[in-house]
Amino acid sequence: MKNDEKSITNQDINRLLRRGVAEIIVEEEMIELLRSGKKLRLKEGFDPSFSDIHLGHMVSLRKLRQFQELGHQVVLIVADWTAQIGDPSGVSVTRPMLSVEQVMANAETYMQQFFKVVDKDKTEVRWQSEWFDKFTLTEVIQLTSKFTVAQLLARDDFSARYNDGRPIALTEFLYPLLQAYDSVAIEADVEFGGTDQKFNLLLGREYQNMMGQRPQQCFMTPLLVGTDGSQKMSKSLGNYIGVAEPPNEIYGKVMSIPDSLILQYFELVTDVPDEELGEFKQGLKDESINPMILKKHLAREIVSPLYSQKEATEAEENFTKVFQKREVPEEIEEYHLSFSEFAPDLTQPVNIDISRLLVKIGLAKSRSEANRFIAQAGTTIAGETVTSHLAEVQSGSIIKVGKRRFAKVINTDK
RNA sequence: GGAGGGGUGCCGGAGUGGUUAAUCGGAGCAGACUGUAAAUCUGCCGCCCUAAGGGCUACGCAGGUUCGAAUCCUGCCCCCUCCA
């Protein structure tokens, strides 16, 4: 099978199944499937109660892409039904039901970002409502009768809550069941997910088996730690780096991860070869590489594929300029306003109420906050630190709050 | 049906009549330091007016007691656990 197009090399298998993978159930079966030359149906679900993809999701999306490059088919499931239940891993059980419009809008945004990484031509998009809208109570009962409470409590997340006396909504039990049904509905060969999805993935496997299908492989990717350096990346924790964010933001956020996360990020969300990673590891260990330099490299590697090489370089230049040299960025938002509006009295020279101005141009949320910035010497106008509440401002001056918020004000008077 | 527990600021979680805008932790923000928006240290961290100083709103909701309530009383709403 040397020159057979369908053949897969050991190198491919290694790349596919080793790096950026937490666990595969069952690995031998997975390898067998890959070797069989069959075009595999790869299931990936997404909950449309959110719409933004972050780097944490990238770990498995990048895997999907790699599989696609070998000719396999991705089936993206828009989980419009389970979204109404809410993923049980969260603390809050009750989630507001999303309107159809909201779901549609989220799905659209999501897919836009999804296809930045995953090949659209090799992706089939399916909605849960295709099959669940037609569900009758009979079918719900049939589905639920296949599983026991003990089985569901086996999920550590459920059992932990149960043992702590914390609530578990009945609908939450339904969540994994519906997800399992999806696998049957689309005849998945492999389902992807983070390690926190293990239970759900396994249940799909089990249900398929009951329904006479070949049980899917469960392909679990590690959970990426967020910018806080301790918890998994998630939007609700606010420690995420969104793929739709502007290059400067992504670059900057990558620079804000703790140094200890550098290697993990390289491994999970870049294509930098393993050998190089080994060198980095050694370099960090014997301190021959400055972590900051390495992190800049990482930031470039992350921004480039999402945007372009050029934009990555620009983001880097911006970072160097603004944060390392403490200079003013290239592009600053301009605000045209009447200065006299902010002057308590119009004697010359005109002194402007700075806190009022900061609120007006959005650099501060409230006047109290603006006053704090001033008191903490965190405000600069044309390079001069603001020390009192009233200060002279020239038209065209650049106002800076903190390290990274800038605005240019233009006087529209006269 | 019965018994019990609970609803506090972005989150977690103290506080049971006064000096409590409310301990503490996390998050966030500012400053210092730094070749990083790393780490570390210091400070800030409801809103409004202000030069200082002051005012207003806030501890599920609505009333009440009191000079004074997140804290006591009454009613209501909501959440959780256990027994059946």
Q: What is the pLDDT of residues A20-36, one digit of tens each?
A: 899 998 888 999 888 88
| A41 half-sphere exposure, CB direction, 13 A CA radius | 18
| Strand B proximal residues, A:341-400, Cβ < 7 Å | 344, 353, 356, 359, 365-369, 371-373, 376-378, 389
What amino acid occupies position A281? K
Strand B bases with any atom < 7 A from protein Cβ: 12, 27-31, 35-39, 43-51, 79-82
SS3 A125: strand
Residue-wise pLDDT for A157-210, tens only, equals: 788 777 766 677 777 888 889 999 999 999 999 999 998 889 999 999 999 999
Question: Measuring CA to CA, which residue among A85, A283, A298, A59 is closest to residue A192?
Answer: A59
CA pair distance A202, A187, nearest whole angstrom? 15
Checking each nucleotide's C1' against the CA of A162, the nearest proves to be: B81
Contacts of A127 (CB under 8 A, 6+ apart): A77, A78, A80
Cα distance from N-terminal residue to C-terminal residue, chain A = 81
Beta bridge partners of A351: A392
CA A380 – C1' B68 distance (Å)?
A: 45
The domain defined by A247-324 folds into: Tyrosyl-Transfer RNA Synthetase (1.10.240)
DSSP designation for A86: -
The maximal CA–CA distance of chain A, rounded, in angstroms, is: 89
Give the list of residues 6+ apart from residue A96 with CB closer than 8 angstroms, or none. Answer: none
Residue at shortest CA–C1' distance from B36: A292
Average pLDDT, rounded, for chain A: 87
With tokens 């401002």, the residue in question is A393
The answer to whether A402 CB is within 7 Å of strand B is yes
The CATH number of A334-411 is 3.10.290.10
* The pLDDT value given to residue A301: 95
Establish whether domains A5-221 and A247-324 are of one fold: no
Both tokens of residue A408? 């240019």
- The reply to whether the CB atom of residue A246 sits less than 7 A from any atom in nucleic acid chain B is no
In sequence order, the 6+-apart residues with CB closer than 8 A to the CB of A374 are A354, A355, A386, A387, A388, A389
Strand duo A379-381 + A384-385: pairing: antiparallel
Residue A297 has pLDDT above 90, yes or no: yes
Domain coordinates in residue numbering, chain A = 5-221, 247-324, 334-411
Straight-line distance from CA A97 to C1' B76, in Å?
Answer: 27
Across all strands, nucleotide nearest A368 (CA–C1'): B47
Q: Å from A414 (CA) to B51 (C1')?
A: 31
Q: Which residue is nearest to nucleotide B37 (CA to C1')?
A: A256
Number of residues written out for chain A: 414
d(Cα A15, Cα A254) in Å, to the nearest integer?
25
Prediction pTM value: 0.86
**A5-221 has which CATH code?**
3.40.50.620
